[in-house]
Structure 1
């Protein structure tokens, strides 16, 4: 657990104000490091998080990706964020996710215990909680917006490009992630060309499923690129869509990789939601992780 002698950096408050105003924000790595330092995270932990994706194995549906995930519950009643038991994952076209595996129940490898124990990872959970603490999103159907709890699915994702295969960070084109808040944190890159992995943020009027290079410019509201370890993009997911360009190899004869953590947060489901049977809030018995997030409720933070 993180040291209790922590403080919220003014930079994070500024980014939350930007989210309130424009419904998305990009936090450069240098600012993220300042914010995490205020949460008593060491530079060593920040550096370590950038190299923890090397043990990832295959993705259940995408041949150019390696992936793991874990579910977390941020409970503002108890002021704790804790890891829940592993569960199936599903996203549907009705949630603005259009891909060949939309609606499929998918099983991912569990997040590594070493990642969850990393203080920078726990700091990212705290940053996520700070945004959620005052977030008032446009409501999605069949989610319980009266609850003090938020459900966050964390993915550790490696996109891979080889001479035979182009890796797509967002094969689905323009999309939303079926949640209330999406927070993507860059971990590392190898042999990644400078025009790779560029994210465009779009108004909801942009048609879903459109390729990254076929979007309508009138609906693009911003552009960002994850390049340095701990660059963060935060999007209010049901109010802005996004798309991402492919991973191009600087040396096309060699393998290229792009590693990110994604934090997909929403309110708990109610009966009738496609994920209702896969939305347990029971703690993980063999891989516990618990973070005190009471700091985000301090009066001077709101």
Structure 2
């Protein structure tokens, strides 16, 4: 899951995410990909714009971030979250994976579901 937090000095035509069919070869540059295998183009511009990617169903690539003013640094701040099932015993990272909670760096993300009234008010 990727969530847009903000940006500075970013050109409006940069920083887009492209979704690809699983048949696309991994690690190809965007200009070398097969156009027919591009499923979607998404560009997050508003605070908390979020994209959920199911990695076993789609591949994705990111278009570079370009500066409006080339003298200043361009930044694009994203919150990246990974969720997944634990690996199986025969997976290559099985020795690194665990269902045990992290004792030194615990983390909790509360999910707040607004009431229907609040949701409607937010959309106006």
Compute the TM-score of the two structures, normalised by the length of structure 2: 0.79
1:275 Cα deviation after fit: 2.0
2:32 to 199, 210, 214: 214
In structure 1, runs of 5+ residues without a counterpart are 1-182, 297-302
Is 2:53 aligned against 1:235? yes
Cα distance in 1 for partners of 2:110, 2:49 equals: 23
1:286 Cα deviation after fit: 4.0
Aligned to 2:9: 191
Is 2:91 aligned against 1:270? no
Superimposed CA distance per residue, residues 256-295 of structure 1 (whole angstroms, 9 cap, x where no aligned partner):
11111122222111223222122233333344333566x9
Aligned to 1:113: none
Aligned to 2:99: 281
Q: Describe the shift of the 1:243–1:290 C-alpha distance in structure 2 as closer, same or farther (beyond 3 A).
A: closer
Please state which structure has a larger fraction of its residues in helix.
Answer: 1
Cα distance in 2 for partners of 1:235, 1:269 equals: 18
Cα distance in 1 for partners of 2:87, 2:81 equals: 17
Cα distance in 2 for partners of 1:184, 1:212 equals: 19
Is 2:21 aligned against 1:203? yes
1:208 Cα deviation after fit: 1.5
How many residue pairs are counted as aligned between the two chains? 113
In structure 2, runs of 5+ residues without a counterpart are 114-124
Structure 1 ranges of 4+ moved more than 4 A:
none
Compute the TM-score of the two structures, normalised by the length of structure 1: 0.35
CA RMSD of aligned residues (A): 2.1
What does 1:1-302 align with in structure 2 at a 5 Å threshold? 183-291=1-109
Contact 2:86–2:97 at 8 Å: present in 1 too?
A: yes
Q: Which has the higher contact order (CA 8 A, sep 6+)?
A: 2
Cα distance in 2 for partners of 1:287, 1:205 equals: 38
Q: Describe the shift of the 1:291–1:222 C-alpha distance in structure 2 as closer, same or farther (beyond 3 A).
A: closer
